[in-house]
Structure 1
Amino acid sequence: MNVHQFFLILLARKRILLATLLLTVGTTLVVSLLLPKTYKGSASVLMNYKGIDPVTGMAMPSALLPGYMATQIDIISSKNVALRVVDHLKLADSPAVQAQFQEATDGAGNVRDWLADLLLLKLEVVPARESSVVDITFKGADPQFVAAVANAFAEEYQRASVQLKVDPMKKASTYFQEQTKSLRDAVEVAQSRLSKYQQEHGIVSVDNRLDVESQRLNDLSAQLVAAQGQLMEANSRQRMAGGAAGAESPDVASNPLVQNLKLSLAQAESKMAEVAQRLGKNHPQYVSAKAEVERMRAELQDSLHVTSRSVGNNAGILQQREAAIRNALAEQKAKVLELNRTRDEMNVLQKDVESAQHAFDATSQRLSQTNIEGQSEQSEISLLNPAVPPIKPAGPKVVLNTVVALFLGTLLGGGLALLAEMLDRRVRSESDLADVLGVPVLANIAWTEAVPASGHRLKKLFPRTLRLN
């Protein structure tokens, strides 16, 4: 079915379409006129959820901001706030309301809960887009009543939000009072333990004493390093002086007596060489020169031995001095370690006192803050626009309902026309005939009014003329 066929069907079934449309529109109009008028009272509240708490000065964490608005809407539409509204307006005290409750529930349940559920059914809470404003709307038949209920919901929501914040603070205040007392006792115990330790060890100021002993330990360490260096040098000279090449040792070679003996030996050897060139080995002068050289050599060897022993004695003295410094260093190190141990133990006790004092200070500060919050009646919710009794009813909307009925009636009439056509299918165009018979259309016969020249007689005999295209 194409669009042309659809419009041909609607044209052929226009009576069904028009009848359905008129029936739908008429019924909607009558029902809209007969329905009781409904009024809406709307109050706007502002939520300062991005601000700073005026009591604590703390800002809300950014991770909690997305769910804050949804939480506040749930609080507004909660049964707790609805019960507060019932009590605020004293609705449960009305004899008429109690009679309606008895008739509706046969006395089962509580009239306050029944009224709260009825109020929540007609309550609408809508947050503004990209804003911190929330509209609280209540629907009813009485303009004064709907405005009063909307304002009551806004006021009781403010009180409920304050109570939800204050009640936990009051409970926390009692807990912090108990903790403050126990922490105060812990500070006193820690301070007493520290004072007792100082009295037992006679500590007035361990830091100054430790500085003096540490300086002395550093001095002994420097002296030990210097003594070890001198001892190593002395041992090296001792080994060189006592070895085969002892004569080449700097300590031996620099000795004045050794130098004089070497010079005298060189002169005696030179004199013996001169005599040996002139005289024979058995000549008295040669024998005398040779004896002089041997004497000089013997004296030189004795001097070398004496000088080497003196270098060894110096190394022994330095070794004893290094050992004495090492023992003094060990004793000083033990003294410093003992002072460090004493200081560490006292530092532990001092840290216990500081930790207890810090915990006591933090708890005391939190107790003061909690007491202030528990006594605060401040709220981040403020009434922006109070509800006023509406002048015009919010419903039923006759014009809107009529427009919607026109649209729905047209759709319904078109559907009924299509349904009637499907139940009684007829040929409306050439395409319908071709679809039914399955053969192409070769000619089209059109009926037109005939106007013969002979007058009305022929028109009565031949009212229409068949024309073959």
Structure 2
Amino acid sequence: MIHRRSNDLHFSQIMLLLKRRRVFIASIVLLSGAAATGIGLTLPPYYTAKAQLLYQADAQVGTERSEDSAVDTLVEMLNSPGQLRRLAKSLEPSPGDTSEITPAELAQTETTKSSPPVLDYDTLDQGLNVYKERQSRLVAVTFRSIDPETAALVANRAVKLYLEHESDFQREARAQALRTVSERMPDALARIDQAEGALREHKIKFGLADSGAAGFDPNDRQIGEFSQQLIIAQSDLAARDAKLQTLSEQQRSISEGNADSQNGIEQVVGKDQTVHASSDATQPLGEDQQNEIKQVMLGRDAVAARVSDIDKRLATLQEANAKTTPAWIRLRELEREANAAGEAYENLQRQQNDLRGQGNGRLSVRIVSMADVPDLPSSPNPLLFVAPTLVASLLIGGFLAVLLERLDQRLRSERDVEETLDAPCIGMVPTVPSGMRANIAQLLRNEPYAPYTEAIRSVYVAATRGSARSILVTSSALGDGKSTLVRSLAAFAERLGQRVLVIDFDLRHPQISRLIDDGKRESTPGAQTDTNDLPWEALIRTAKKDGIDYLTIPRLPVDPLTVLLNDDFPSLIKQQRQNYDCILIDSAPVGGATETRLLAMMVDCVIFTVRWGVTEAGTALAAVQQLRSSATAQGIPIAVVVNQVDLRAHRRGGYSEPVAMSPVPA
């Protein structure tokens, strides 16, 4: 399909195109369906077995995020290359060895095989799938295989192998920790003995007792006691001084004029001496007041003496304590070292007891369910893919059909001719029936309504309309049926009572004499070799069967252009136009003969024939452009005839399009 003036395909054109290529599309669909069915029948079904593990969160796990991380870690460990290698190795027993399959696995998978299947690392990596089930702590372990028993066996083996590996790892770690603790205990005992020995030696050397729970030596306690007593005595002395001051203020307010008595009292208080009683009858103080002052003074003196005694004893103790403090400090350091050594030994004993009491311990993962042998395959039925394959192949076939049509540049329809060659298509001539090829005139006479007769009638009317008297028939290549078309047009014109002259100027492959007069030809009088002396009129012959006049140019050993450049041949055409109603010239193809382009300038119009479904658009366009390039200023009127049309294929492919037959330009 050629559409040079529009790159868009309308819906009707697409449907017509698909209808035209329906056999091609149906072949692709059938082949694809057959291939999909064959593949579906040959592919074995796959079975999937699933085992489940539950991650048990420890009490130390505080957040949901840590649980999710632990579950994700469990999934990665079950999918790790190391786990797959261990699984592959466990499935490779030695010949005749069935110890790898436990009785529980045999009961679970209901298998009667003598040995587990041999699966390599890549097969396990492709078939084994471990994933977290939704938002839970359940971990699913699945295996996909064409054998349901193998699927269940591998899934269960993967779960148990992981648990055994984790148990062995924990047991080895516990044993290693116990060995480490046992190796450290003798060193801890030696440090205890060393610390206690150093403590005893220090006590004996300095004559020190235990520092006690308070952590102080006796001198510290005595210094503390004397310090407290000193504080109390100083407080009592201050209280007594305050009381004497108060009595002095009271005395001043009672007797403001007796300065001597007041001075006497203040003198006694200020000098810290005993008041001597005076027998002077003029003493302003009363007897009670004097007694109270004496008692306060006596108590003050006693307290002052006590304060002085405590100060002396405290100074003595502090001097002695300054000499014994480094020994006590070292004593406390040794005691702390001994306590630390004892605590370290006790910690090791506790660790040892805890490790021994743990036994096998508890894994953070437990089995929820083991894999059962699946009864139904997990893979979809391969035959279900036949329908999608048919749909996909239908789309692909349609696309390829459109692509092939767009790439097909062969001329088949009037539209192809007009859009490609920019020339009117005046007829679609079908193929001559095989039984009538030898007598075309009889076909035209006996079957006036046959498709071939109708096509020749249409071409003749369109070609001879107007003043067109001389017509050149050519093509782009041999085999396009131009000579048969000339013979048919001549026979049709003769049947209409027209005088027709057929000139065969195809010097390389002459066909007219064979078609018109069954190859019978009288010998040319004289063997002329000079084209200037060639009697053209003498070469005109009349067919005995149809009475058609024809002229066959002899194949002379000269350049064919010498015939055309000679004035005799153009004069012959002009002269015969007066004698004949129509002159038909059968020339060689344009691409292989230069004389054809010269003949085109001597005629009224040119009929260019193309072969239906064979002639390429590019080849025909090049030939037409060669004809136009040799035209005069007025141009050469060119009409196109599509020859040898397969009518059934033409109708079936929908190539027929209603077009208006344009007359040949005058």
Q: Give the structure-2-normalised TM-score.
A: 0.44
**What letter matches 1:222 in structure 2?**
I
Alignment of 1:115-134 (within 5 A): 115-134=120-139
Matching residue of 2:389: 405
Q: Which runs of 5+ in 1 are unaligned?
A: 53-57, 96-111, 238-244, 264-311, 426-435, 437-460
| Offset at residue 159 of structure 1 (A) | 0.7
Match of 1:45 among 44, 48, 52: 52
Deviations along 1:275-318, one digit per CA (max 9) or x if unpaired, are: xxxxxxxxxxxxxxxxxxxxxxxxxxxxxxxxxxxxx9999998
SS in 2 for 1:164: helix
User: Is 1:74 the counterpart of 2:76 in the alignment?
Assistant: yes
Q: Is the 8 A contact 2:56 2:366 kept in 1?
A: no
User: Is 1:31 the counterpart of 2:16 in the alignment?
Assistant: no
Distance between the aligned counterparts of 2:280 and 2:392, measured in 1? 138
Match of 1:351 among 336, 347, 360: 336
Distance between the aligned counterparts of 2:12 and 2:137, measured in 1? 53
User: Is 1:177 the counterpart of 2:182 in the alignment?
Assistant: yes
Distance between the aligned counterparts of 2:389 and 2:264, measured in 1? 129
Match of 2:314 among 329, 333, 348: 329
**What letter matches 2:79 in structure 1?**
S
Distance between the aligned counterparts of 2:319 and 2:305, measured in 1? 21
**What letter matches 1:119 in structure 2?**
L
Distance between the aligned counterparts of 2:33 and 2:370, measured in 1? 38
| Offset at residue 152 of structure 1 (A) | 1.7
Q: Is the 8 A contact 1:39 1:141 kept in 2?
A: yes
| Offset at residue 198 of structure 1 (A) | 3.5
Matching residue of 1:387: 371
Distance between the aligned counterparts of 1:392 and 1:252, measured in 2? 122
User: Is 1:222 the counterpart of 2:232 in the alignment?
Assistant: yes
Matching residue of 1:249: 263
| Offset at residue 376 of structure 1 (A) | 1.0
**What letter matches 1:177 in structure 2?**
S
| Offset at residue 167 of structure 1 (A) | 2.1
Distance between the aligned counterparts of 2:134 and 2:401, measured in 1? 45
**What letter matches 1:69 in structure 2?**
V
Q: Is the 8 A contact 1:124 1:136 kept in 2?
A: yes
| Offset at residue 161 of structure 1 (A) | 1.7
| Offset at residue 417 of structure 1 (A) | 5.6
Distance between the aligned counterparts of 2:316 and 2:186, measured in 1? 48
**What letter matches 1:93 in structure 2?**
P
Q: Is the 8 A contact 2:47 2:151 kept in 1?
A: yes
Q: Is the 8 A contact 2:188 2:341 kept in 1?
A: yes
SS in 1 for 2:139: strand
Classify 1:9/1:361 alpha carbon distance in 2 versus 1 (closer, same or farther; 3 Å).
Answer: farther
Q: Which runs of 5+ in 2 are unaligned?
A: 1-5, 98-116, 248-258, 269-274, 285-296, 410-418, 420-453, 455-656, 660-666
Deviations along 1:147-175, one digit per CA (max 9) or x if unpaired, are: 22222222212111212222222222222
Tell me the C-alpha RMSD between the 2 structures: 5.2
Distance between the aligned counterparts of 2:222 and 2:300, measured in 1? 32
SS in 2 for 1:93: coil
Deviations along 1:170-197, one digit per CA (max 9) or x if unpaired, are: 2222222222221222222223333333
Q: Give the structure-1-normalised TM-score.
A: 0.59
Classify 1:47/1:217 alpha carbon distance in 2 versus 1 (closer, same or farther; 3 Å).
Answer: same
Classify 1:321/1:73 alpha carbon distance in 2 versus 1 (closer, same or farther; 3 Å).
Answer: closer
Q: Is the 8 A contact 2:195 2:341 kept in 1?
A: yes
Higher helix fraction (1 or 2): 1
**What letter matches 1:352 in structure 2?**
E
Distance between the aligned counterparts of 1:261 and 1:79, measured in 2? 122
| Offset at residue 219 of structure 1 (A) | 0.8
Q: Is the 8 A contact 2:52 2:368 kept in 1?
A: yes
Q: Is the 8 A contact 2:88 2:119 kept in 1?
A: no
Distance between the aligned counterparts of 2:51 and 2:33, measured in 1? 37
Distance between the aligned counterparts of 1:341 and 1:400, measured in 2? 97
Distance between the aligned counterparts of 2:260 and 2:34, measured in 1? 141
Deviations along 1:371-404, one digit per CA (max 9) or x if unpaired, are: 455x516434333332333333334632442354
Deviations along 1:110-129, one digit per CA (max 9) or x if unpaired, are: xx998344333332223311
Distance between the aligned counterparts of 1:94 and 1:25, measured in 2? 46
Q: Is the 8 A contact 1:10 1:414 kept in 2?
A: no
Q: Is the 8 A contact 1:25 1:406 kept in 2?
A: yes
Q: Is the 8 A contact 1:17 1:414 kept in 2?
A: yes
**What letter matches 1:412 in structure 2?**
I
Number of residue pairs the alignment of both structures matches: 361
SS in 2 for 1:249: helix
Q: More displaced, 154-163 or 210-219?
A: 210-219
Match of 2:164 among 159, 162, 165: 159
- Higher relative contact order, structure no. (Cα contacts within 8 Å, ≥ 6 residues apart): 1
SS in 2 for 1:202: coil
Classify 1:344/1:233 alpha carbon distance in 2 versus 1 (closer, same or farther; 3 Å).
Answer: farther
Classify 1:233/1:383 alpha carbon distance in 2 versus 1 (closer, same or farther; 3 Å).
Answer: closer
SS in 1 for 2:120: helix
The alignment-based identity, stated in percent, is 17
Matching residue of 2:574: none
Distance between the aligned counterparts of 1:314 and 1:78, measured in 2? 95
Q: Is the 8 A contact 2:87 2:161 kept in 1?
A: yes
Classify 1:325/1:113 alpha carbon distance in 2 versus 1 (closer, same or farther; 3 Å).
Answer: farther
**What letter matches 1:219 in structure 2?**
Q
